[in-house]
A and B are shown apart, each in its own frame.
Chain A
Amino acid sequence: MSHLRLISNRPTVVQPERSRARADHPCLEAFQLEFDYLLRALRRLGVSRDDVEDLAHEVFLVLHQTWEKYDPSRPFRAYLFGIAFRVARNHVRKRSKEVLLSVIEVDDVGAWPDQALEERQQRSLVLQALDRIPLLRRAVLVMHDIDEVPMAEIAHSLSMCRFTGYSRLHKARKEFAAAVAALREMDES
């Protein structure tokens, strides 16, 4: 049961039900454990709701291929996000040549009916604001400020130096604040 090491590396992950974790490969089990997180991470990276399942599968394929390279001493979510970031970047590049994507989707508001309306609107606002930030900076912002991953891990996962990471984070925070302000202004007008 070497795959259980993954759980200890993820302080924010809720222990899953045993039935859900039933899998025949540690890679698949880890994928199942972080499936919800992966879907949301892909959405934060600008993947549309229609494509998110396909891209999650692509992430799994890469994860399976590189499973032997994964260092269990490092946080699994950061590793998974690194894969998701690369898959999403390729996807967004391809899609940007075909159609102009807009993250403002009705599904973002009504995906979970049990949520309070205001909360849903706020989450939708975050996605829309993130979509206005270039992907490289957005990935740093999401990992650092939302997923609370240390910059050392971010730099390792996204293959960059720490200084670049902090620089991107600083700029992304400004862009995020400006995007939120612009979106609110649009909403009020």
Chain B
Amino acid sequence: MKRVSVKPSPTEIKSLFALERKILPAPDEVRNRGTERARAALPQNQRAYAAGRSNTTLWRRLGTAAAAAVVLFALCAAAFEVGYRLKNRAPMAPVAKVEAVPMVAEAPAAELPPSEPPAAEPTPALPRQTKAKAAAAKSVSESEAYARELPVLQPALDAVARNDFTAALTAIAAHQSRFPSGQLAEEREALRVKALAGLGRMPEAVRAGATFRQRFPHSALLNQIQEMLGTQR
């Protein structure tokens, strides 16, 4: 038997709509919940402000706790590094060959103090050291190297700033004697060129510049050195 779909008459549709038009009240709990949520969302509501303040305080506390944790971790890492170094007095970075022709006479390479260790060998005493630990130790040792070198080279920077190039060369020689291939060697050699040029010792300055270009071909200071030598000529 074929079933026939009977469409509702317009009157039926109207009665359905009339029935649907009647809005029944929502349960009180739903209404109260909706009102409370809406009221809490109003910015001028005191409770919303209080909630906002408490949230802000919570985030501040969390931030402080996170910062304290980071500082604590850094302190632990530093303490571990110091203890590790004291225990295994391993040499630092490998030392490159001393320049064959020192640019300044008062800085002979042969007068290396005993504090600067010879070239470092791979560390056979640390077979269990992982790559991550090694990388961390390397970064710490680099920052330590900067911290040790900077006070030695700082007088050279100050001297160049006040155009006392003789004093600058003395400080440069002191740094070279202690850290011939240190982390600040690039800056030291650039200062050397500047100091020599400032003293009017242009042949030496040009030679120092050539050596600098050869040693640090990708240095950001190259342009400055070339400009300086070009203007001094």
Contacts and interface: CB of A to CB of B under 8 A. Distances in A.
B17 to A, nearest CB: 5
- Could you say which interface size class chain B belongs to? 20 to 34
Contacts of A125: 16
Interface string A151-181: 0000000000000000000000100111011
B35 interface: yes
B39 interface: yes
A64 B41 contact: yes
Contacts of A177: 7-8, 13
A57 B26 contact: no
Contacts, number: 93
A184 interface: yes
Interface centre among B21, B26, B37, B41 (most CB of A within 10 A): B26
B156 to A, nearest CB: 63
A180 B13 contact: yes
A181 B6 CA distance: 6
Interface centre among A44, A173, A177 (most CB of B within 10 A): A177
Interface in B40-82: 41-42, 44-45
Interface residues of A, number: 43
A180 B8 CA distance: 7
B9 to A, nearest CB: 9
A25 B44 contact: yes
Main secondary structure of the interface of B (DSSP, over half): helix
Given A60-B41, A123-B20, A35 B13 contact: no
B30 interface: yes
B6 to A, nearest CB: 6
Interface string B10-27: 001100110111011110
Nearest to B14: A145
Interface centre among B17, B33, B34 (most CB of A within 10 A): B34
Given A28-B39, A126-B20, 17 more contacts: A12-B21, A23-B35, A28-B38, A28-B42, A31-B38, A36-B31, A39-B26, A39-B30, A53-B33, A60-B37, A111-B24, A123-B20, A126-B19, A177-B7, A180-B7, A180-B8, A185-B6
